[in-house]
Amino acid sequence: MAMRRSIPVRAVLRRPTLSSADILVGALLLAILYIGVRLGRSLTVNFTPGHSTERISTNLSNLPYYALRSLTRMFIALALSTLFTFVYGAAAARLQRAQKVLVPILDILQSIPILVFLPVALTFFLKLFPNSLLGLEAASIFVIFTSQAWNMTFSFYHSLITQPIELDEAARMYRLTKWQRFWKLDVPSSMIGLVWNAMMSMGGGWFFLTASEAVTVFIHGKGQPIDLPGIGSYMGAAVKEGSVPKVLIGIVVMIILVVGTNFLLFRPLVAWAEKFRVETSTSSDTPRSSVLNLLRRSSIPSLLGRATRPIGRGLDRITRPFGLAEYPLALDATRKRFGDITFWVLVGGVSLWGAYAGLAYLGRVVGFSRFPYLFGLGFITFARVVVLIVISTLIWVPVGVKIGMDPKLSRYAQPVVQVLASFPAILLFPLITLVFIDLHISLNIGATLLMMLGAQWYILFNVIAGASSIPNDLREMSANMHLTRRLRWRRVILPAVFPYYVTGGITAAGGAWNASIVAEIVTWHHSTLHAKGLGNYIAVQSTDGKFAFLLGAGVVMSIFVVVVNRVYWRRLYQLAESRYSL
């Protein structure tokens, strides 16, 4: 008997129609493209070092344009930070030899103040894009990148080294290629922590926005201050004028930017990342996002996904010759020993040459007699960092656990926390400085508070991510066993949160060191307050254009951060990896 062919249903043959969700999503994409093209034209403006540029106006009509310029820099830097996170974090976690070099380098990079990066980046990009404003823009974006990338990379690296062994065995059992393992296992398993750290990175970028948009180009030893159009440079101009109303208006605009960014981007990402939670039972109250629901109703994301699918297949074929996801690799012992010797000879040679060249330069220009004074300033700032970490831990660990483990509270508290963490506390510095002046409070005491405003959120965000990633079945089990509050904290909550807290603590410490360069010297109109410390010294040397002294102070700060990370934080990392990884 011949099999009859089925006739397609009329609804299948009907052409798909545009829905209201498609129209809204399409309009949003067109608006983003239009803004990108209009802002791109402003980057082609000619710029010649030594000639003046347009001054920043505090006229309120310029605020929308300034806000869009700053927002564009922030998103470009965030995209670059995400790409850097995937490449650097995966290399540090998967390449056994490189891990011993890449992780210490990451410690050093996160400890170098952005003002040390700025002269190097400015010189490089001005050479790369001569006589164009694009060089200044690229340098500004790079500086924002340096304030965003490190905590995301630490989070991704930590999620890879603490990956459950069952998932690793499944990847090897299904013979996934390294490319497939990366996108099907590594990235999804780290998504919750990565999203929260991306939000924190956005806040870190806002924090240093004013410093990144105000650059100084030195021509024949003379500095030429240049303010790039942006909300950060607008705030700097308003502070110089001593105008409280304009400062408050700038803060309101910044709040609008932060709330809009969280509503349109980070809140949907938080809700979307819930699909990657590893557990056998699910909570009835999960994060929701109206924007994510709109995207799910629209057919445009699926069309874009189908259009890019051949690219993924092509990359899968290209990367297949690199081998399967066998980790650790099974290598011949002799070959492995020869590779280790060669690797360390090369690394040791390059390190010794770099150390010798750097020390010779610093000894010739700065003089080694200045370093005891710099280390004394470093101990003062280090004391502020220790106080900050202790206070932030006592305050925000219980709060973060409460928010992360209570779905109903999390629904209302997470947006507030996102706004608070993303809001650049540096915009409040002028008003706080005014209070310090009126109350005659020494900045030696107030600097710790100002540093805390910028660094405490790293701990809170990571603790929330850790508490929210506790499997729901584990929570139900602890409730069914009627564990006491103390036993619940000791046996369930603290072990689960501890790896995330270590990531938050190490990035908060690095962020605090970086924040010291803007917290130990603050200005309001014609009044400037100074706090003794290494951050104050770096800020002053950067203003004076003394790169050698700036580099020497950066080296001292890096030594403090690396030693503390090696002696203290790295041991906590090892403890988290060996005892408290799920």
Q: Is 401 a residue whose pLDDT tops 80?
A: yes
pLDDT of 580 over the 80 cut = no
Contact 439, 223 (CB under 8 A): no
Three-state SS for 524? strand
Evaluate whether residue 323 is within a structural domain.
Answer: no
Question: Pairing state of beta strands 521-524 and 527-530?
Answer: antiparallel
Q: Work out how many domains the chain is built from and give that number.
A: 1
Q: Is residue 13 part of a domain?
A: no
**Would the pLDDT of 445 be above 80?**
yes
Q: Please indicate, yes or no, if residue 310 is contained in any of the structural domains.
A: no
Is residue 78 a part of any domain in this protein?
Answer: yes
Which residues are 521's β-sheet partners?
Answer: 530
When mean pLDDT is compared across 86-100, 328-342, 400-414, the lowest value belongs to 328-342
Return the pLDDT at 274. 80
Cα 48 from chain centroid? 32
- The enclosing H or E element of 579 equals helix 570-579
Cα separation values, 358 from 100, 109, 351, 366, 368, Å: 22, 16, 10, 11, 12
Token readout for 562 is 């690396």
To the nearest 5 percent, what fractions of the chain are helix, strand and coil? 80, 5, 20
1 band by pLDDT with thresholds 50, 70 and 90: very low
Segment among 18-32, 118-132, 182-196, 412-426 with least mean pLDDT: 412-426
**Nearest alpha carbon to residue 496 among 327, 199, 279:** 279
In a domain, 197, yes or no: yes
The answer to whether the beta carbons of residues 277 and 195 sit under 8 Å apart is no
For 475, 476, 494, 495, 497, the CA distances from 491, given in Å and listed in that order, are 11, 14, 7, 7, 11
Distances (CA, A) of 119 to 68, 126, 223, 227, 346: 25, 11, 12, 15, 29
Tokens in use for 225?
């201050």
Taking only the tens place, the pLDDT of each residue in 446-500 is 888 888 887 788 888 788 878 877 777 777 777 777 777 788 888 788 888 888 8
Give Cα 542 distance to the centre of its chain: 24
pLDDT value for 117: 72
> 113 pairs with which residues across the strands?
none
Which CATH number characterizes residue 453's domain? 1.10.3720.10
Most confident residue range from 118-122, 205-209, 278-282, 551-555:
551-555
Under DSSP, the state recorded for 324 is B
DSSP letter string over 162-221? Answer: T--HHHHHHHHHTT-BHHHHIIIIIHHHTHHHHHHHHHHHHHHHHHTHHHHHEEEEEETT
pTM over 0.85: no
Buried b (16+ CB within 10 A) or exposed e, 286-321: bbebebbebbeebebeeeeeeeeeeeeeeeeeeeee
Rounded (5°) CA angle 278-280-284: 95
Model confidence at 160, pLDDT cuts 50, 70, 90, reads: confident
- Confirm whether 169 is domain-assigned: yes
Q: Answer yes or no: are the C-beta atoms of 139 and 540 closer than 8 Å.
A: no
The reply to whether 205 falls in a domain is yes
Question: What is Dmax (Cα atoms) for the chain?
Answer: 99
- The answer as to whether 439 is a domain residue is yes
- Count CA within 13 A, CB hemisphere, residue 270: 29
Contact between residue 179 and residue 319 where contact means Cβ atoms under 8 Å apart: yes
How far CA 247 is from CA of 65, 91, 226, 429, 553, in Å, comes to 17, 44, 20, 11, 32
Query: Per mean pLDDT, which of 30-44, 197-211, 323-337 is the most reliable?
Result: 197-211
Cis status of the peptide bond prior to 225, with omega within 30 of 0: no
Eight-state DSSP code of residue 526: T
Q: Domain range holding 148? A: 53-284+331-579
